[in-house]
Amino acid sequence: MPPTLSPAQLKALDGAYALTGTANAEIAQRWYPLTIRSGYTAARPAIADFLSRIGRRKLVMPTYRALAQTADGLRFAREVFAKARPGLHPITIGSVETALAAKPAS
Please report the pLDDT score of residue 104 as a whole number.
Answer: 74
Query: What is the rounded average pLDDT of the residues 20-38?
Result: 97
Q: For residue 104, what are the contacts with CB-CB under 8 A and spacing of at least 6? A: 68, 69, 70, 71, 73, 74
Q: Is the pLDDT of residue 2 over 60?
A: yes
**Percentage of residues of the chain with pLDDT beyond 70:** 98
- Alpha helices by DSSP H, listed for 25-70, are 25-38, 44-53, 57-67
SS3 content of the chain, % helix, strand, coil (to 5): 75, 0, 25
Please report the pLDDT score of residue 105 as a whole number.
Answer: 65
| CA-based nearest residue to 50, from 15, 75, 76, 13 | 76
Could you give all domains of the chain from N- to C-terminal order, each with its CATH number? 7-101 (1.25.40.320)
Please report the pLDDT score of residue 106 as a whole number.
Answer: 57
Please report the pLDDT score of residue 103 as a whole number.
Answer: 77
Render pLDDT for 42-73 as a digit per residue (tens, 0 to 9): 999 999 999 999 999 999 999 999 999 999 99
The values of phi and psi at residue 94, to 5°, are -60, -40
| CA-based nearest residue to 106, from 71, 75, 62 | 71
Q: Is the pLDDT of residue 1 over 90?
A: no
Please report the pLDDT score of residue 102 as a whole number.
Answer: 77
